[in-house]
Amino acid sequence: MNKEQESLLLNSSSRFLIPQGVKISYGTAGFREDASILSSTVYRVGILAALRSLQTQSVIGVMITASHNKVSDNGVKIADPNGGMLSQHWEPFADAIANAPSPQQLLQLINEFVEKEKIPFDGIRPAEILLGRDTRPSGDALLEAARQGVTSIAGAVASDMGILTTPQLHWMVRARNKGIKASEQDYFDQLSSSFRCLMDLIPTERSKFDGINGKLVVDGANGVGGAKLKILHKLLNDLDIEVRNSSEDEGVLNDGVGADFVQKEKVVPRGFGSKDAGIRCASLDGDADRLVYFYVPPETNAQIDLVDGDKILSLFALFIREQLSFLNEKEAIKNYHKARLGIVQTAYANGASTNYLKHLGLEVNFTPTGVKYLHEKAAEFDIGIYFEANGHGTILFSESFIEWLEVRSNELSSGSKGSEAEKAALRLLAVSKLINQAVGDALSGVLLVEVILRHMGWSIHKWNELYHDLPSRQLKVKVADRTTVVTANAETVVVRPPGLQEVINAETAKYTQGRCFVRPSGTEDVVRVYAEASTQEAADTLANSVAKLVDQFLGCNSS
Ligand code: G16
């Protein structure tokens, strides 16, 4: 860096001093804290994004959001050139600069990193960053902090894309770097046209099936997703969607609403109740990167039947598998390509879902929590389907498989036009355009679920019957320092503090079909406990007992 650049950085960073006595850590999905202490962190992430853009000579994204967290929190996620999460290789640098005590120390760290990573300040292309934010009241000021961070790198350009869902920003970054049109309207156009294509390919005998209750009611978590879904809905004639808990309504973001609440508590979100009995419902989270479905059984109070990320994954897997089997009928064809289909889950996946998927003959892989890990694993396959039970996931198609599909669908349309194999190729191509290739996306997820249910001729009840979840319970435990919990084996085993795993094992062994693990959250200041057992009562008791053990080991109060 030249002297001019150094003084630019020193000047602007002196306006964003770090809060005293706080250590901020890069977590499961970037930095996330109370919004009042985040401006220096977001400013510094702006610098980091500009450096990443220079190094990769590509457009980078910065999204201001704390997703499922409470409204007073905020956070920042970075989208890499392919639209995915920031390369894990850069996370330690993110941590270091977020906590550099003074502008001078910040400058020193940046200088060292620039040298180590050989970041070109005289590259052909200046840094270019797309900035987005969700609906949180703190978003505007934090976006300005990010903008100032970006522009403290000489020549860097920051474009404010406005209020967006997180997956929209990731989609735009990916599209820009692929040289395709990348506005919000382009996003809506791509989703709606690929959805229509899939609707047109529904087998005629099934398109008349009326067993799926027409209307879908969506809980928007009082966040950005509801308003965006309303815009998308205007482009779709075939769907009857009612949106509740949109950011335009009165309610508080993620407060008794949204995918995280619905999935963890298994009760109706605010604005839903017995009047909705039997209707197909869905819940988005605060930045619309997660999706779960549910329905209210008749004569219930607030309890729901949850159709979570594992069931969405199973539905997608069945559909993709069916299309691949149509293509595979013609194994004798020239250039035949047997697609490798892989499934990725985390330890939170209900044991019944994993058994179901394995029973279908599918390859199931496990990673730690966090889409950055699942996405990376899924990208190893021709088609990789990943989902967390909390509803965060997508389907990835490899470039080479897409190319093969394009060639194959052209061959088929000139030869056996209208064949099942041709339709299957066209469906897979449409799915690859509908479902977000950058990150889990609740809006594209809703459209894909809706079209697959129609394709199958299934109601939500039929879908939910694919397999029966083992009863489970998730709890949060407040601890003095959650970083003292260290796990291994995709978070299924506690390595530290010593002795904790042994007592968890002894407790779990008391329960039929018992399974239990604990891990530190990367987005909230808690340790999470997950338990499964043969009855709900047993799962609840196991989770509570293990929460108490965590409390004993780490000195805390469970909630
Ligand atoms: C983020 C991550 C997810 C993760 C969730 C909870 O979701 O993107 O992969 O499952 O946090 O993580 P943890 O259990 O570590 O708190 P979101 O939707 O909040 O961005």
**Which of residues 437, 464, 491 is at a domain's end?**
464
Claim to verify: residue 322 and residue 460 sit in the same structural domain:
yes
Q: Does residue 189 lie in a domain region?
A: no
> Do residues 166 and 232 share a domain?
no
Claim to verify: residue 479 and residue 448 sit in the same structural domain? no
**Alpha-carbon span 403 to 533, nearest angstrom:** 45
CB distance 290 to ligand 1 below 6 Å: yes
pLDDT digits 0-9 by tens, 438-475: 999 999 999 999 999 999 999 999 999 999 999 999 99
Helix intervals (H) in 330-441: 351-359, 371-378, 399-414, 420-434
Q: Looking at the domain assignment, is residue 19 inside a domain? A: yes
Given the CA of residue 65, which atom of ligand 1 is nearest to it?
A: 20
Closest ligand 1 atom to the C-alpha of 524? 16
Asked if residue 370 is part of any domain, the answer here is: yes
Give residue for tokens 């604005």. Answer: 271
Q: What is the ipTM of this complex?
A: 0.96
Rounded to an integer, the average pLDDT of 265-277 is 95
Which one, of 132, 134, 125, 204, lies nearest residue 157 by Cα?
Answer: 125
Please identify, among 464, 486, 512, the residue that sits at the C-terminal boundary of a domain. Answer: 464
519 in the same domain as 454? no
Q: Which residues pair with 500 in a beta bridge?
A: none
Residue 147 sits in the same domain as residue 53: yes
3-state secondary structure 109-173: HHHHHHHHHCCCCCCCCCCEEEEEECCCCCHHHHHHHHHHHHCCCCCCEEEEEEECCHHHHHHHH
- Is 74 close to ligand 1, i.e. is its CB under 6 Å away? no
Q: Is the CB of 394 under 6 A from ligand 1?
A: no
* Ligand 1 midpoint to CA 154 (Å): 34
Q: Whose CA is nearest to atom 6 of ligand 1?
A: 523
In a domain, 194, yes or no: no
181 token code pair = 């049109």
Q: Is 16 exposed, middle or buried (0-12, 13-18, 19+ CB in 10 A)?
A: buried
**If you measure from the C-alpha of residue 332 to the centroid of ligand 1, how many angstroms do you get, rounded to a whole number?**
44
Q: Pairing relation of β-strands 59-64 and 73-79?
A: antiparallel
287 appears as a binding residue in the annotation: yes
Is the alpha carbon torsion for 113, 94, 139, 227 positive or negative?
Answer: positive
Distance CA 276, CA 281 (A): 8
Dihedral (C-alpha) 421, 424, 430, 435: value to the nearest 10 degrees? Answer: -150
Q: Tell me, yes or no, whether 29 lies in a domain.
A: yes
DSSP, residue by residue, 434-472: HS-SSS--HHHHHHHHHHHHHHHT--HHHHHTTS-PPPE
CB of 281 within 8 A of CB of 220? no
> Are 65 and 119 in a shared domain?
yes
The residue to mutate among 85, 369, 529, having the most atoms of ligand 1 within 8 angstroms of its beta carbon, is 369
Q: What is the count of structural domains for the chain? A: 4
The atom of ligand 1 lying closest to the CA of 371 is 9
| Residue 208 CA to ligand 1 centre (angstroms) | 39
Q: How far apart are CA 549 and CA 547, in angstroms?
A: 5
CATH number of the domain that 259 lies in? Answer: 3.40.120.10
Query: What is the Å distance from ligand 1's center to 254 Cα?
Result: 14
Q: Does residue 195 lie within any of the structural domains?
A: no
Residue 234's contacts (CB-CB under 8 Å, 6 or more residues apart) are: none
Q: Is the shortest distance between the CB of 67 and ligand 1 below 6 Å?
A: yes
- Nearest-angstrom CA–CA distance, 363 and 233: 35
Q: What angle do CA 280, 285, 290 make, to 5 degrees?
A: 80
Has 305 been labeled as part of a binding site? no
Regarding whether 507 and 428 lie in a shared domain, the answer is: no
| Closest alpha carbon to 63 in 135, 111, 15, 126 | 135
**Statement to judge: residues 354 and 426 lie in one domain:** yes
Ligand 1 pocket: which of 133, 263, 390 to mutate (most atoms within 8 A of CB): 390
Q: From the CB of 528, is ligand 1 less than 6 Å away?
A: yes
Q: Has residue 404 been placed in a domain? A: yes
Q: CA 26 to CA 39: how far, in whole Å?
A: 15
pLDDT in tens, 83-137: 999 999 999 999 999 999 999 999 999 999 999 999 999 878 999 999 999 999 9
Domain-terminating residue out of 411, 440, 464 = 464
The CATH number covering residue 384 comes to 3.40.120
Contacts of 229 (CB under 8 A, 6+ apart): 218, 220, 241, 243, 284, 288, 443, 446
Q: Are residues 390 and 526 in the same domain?
A: no
**Same structural domain, 223 and 111:** no
Residue located nearest, by CA, to atom 17 of ligand 1: 67
Distance CA 247, CA 293 (A): 20
Q: What is the pLDDT of residues 127-139, one digit of tens each?
A: 999 999 999 999 9
Cβ–ligand 1 contact at 482 (below 6 Å): no
Q: Any binding-site annotation on 390?
A: yes
Residue 68 resides in a domain: yes
| Domain containing residue 554: CATH number | 3.30.310.50
Confidence of residue 518 (pLDDT cuts 50, 70, 90): very high
CB 176 within 8 A of CB 71: no
Please check whether residues 117 and 162 belong to one and the same domain. Answer: yes
Residue of 207 and 206 predicted with greater confidence: 206
Backbone angles phi, psi at 152, to 5 degrees: -80, 0
* pLDDT digit string, tens, across residues 53-88: 999 999 999 999 999 999 999 999 999 999 999 999
Residue 249: per-residue pLDDT: 82
Q: At what angle do helices 309-328 and 420-434 cross, to 10 degrees?
A: 140
- Predicted confidence band at 228 (pLDDT cuts at 50, 70, 90)? very high
Q: Which pLDDT score, from 0 to 100, does residue 272 have? A: 96
Instruction: Determine whether the shortest distance from the Cβ of 382 to ligand 1 is under 6 A.
Output: no
Distance 28 CA to ligand 1 centre (A): 6
Residue 14 has pLDDT above 70, yes or no: yes
Structure tokens at 127: 């840094």
Ligand 1 closest atom vs CA 520: 15
Task: Name the residue range of residue 294's domain.
Answer: 213-301
On whether both 431 and 476 belong to a single domain, the answer is: no
As annotated, the active-site residues are 67
